[in-house]
Amino acid sequence: CLGSINLAKHVALDADDEPVVDWALLERTVRESTSFLDNVVSANAYVPAVPEVAEAAYRARRIGLGIMGLGDMMYKLGIRYGSENGQEFAAQIMEFVRFHSMQRSVELAEARGPFLAFAGSIYDKDAEG
């Protein structure tokens, strides 16, 4: 299950009317998007003729949360796309999205139980490797 966050919608004006990243809104969007995509895994009407697809989806509960609008966001913020500063900014944004999506996934696992293939996966702290 895949989804994208439009980063251009996460720029606000500060008290001096300067454009800034609305980090609180972005965090909320990442968390809600992660929950939504996990819910879609459960709600999806998988093709009955191919039960292996549903089984694989439930077993791994894989979601893909991506971004779009990075260039637009950077333009609004006055950051040159492709510059060293721009590359550092893009890395910061992606780390922020990854961290908060992972944090929300952990909370969902605590509430709903881990995905069926968790044991022995790269996320299993008790697994050898």
Q: Taking 70 as the threshold, does the pLDDT of residue 129 lie above it? A: no
Contact criterion met (CB below 8 Å) for 65 and 30: yes
User: What is the residue-averaged pLDDT of the chain?
Assistant: 94
Contact criterion met (CB below 8 Å) for 104 and 34: yes
Pairing of strands 64-68, 11-13: unpaired
**Per-residue pLDDT reduced to its tens digit, 44-89:** 888 788 889 888 888 899 999 999 999 999 999 999 999 999 999 9
Host H or E run for residue 4: strand 2-6
Number of other residues whose CB lies within 10 A of the CB of residue 42: 11
Q: What pLDDT was estimated at residue 126?
A: 85
**What does the pLDDT average to over 33-42?**
95
Q: pTM of the prediction?
A: 0.90
Rounded to whole angstroms, the Cα distance separating 39 from 23 reads 24
Number of other residues whose CB lies within 10 A of the CB of residue 2: 10
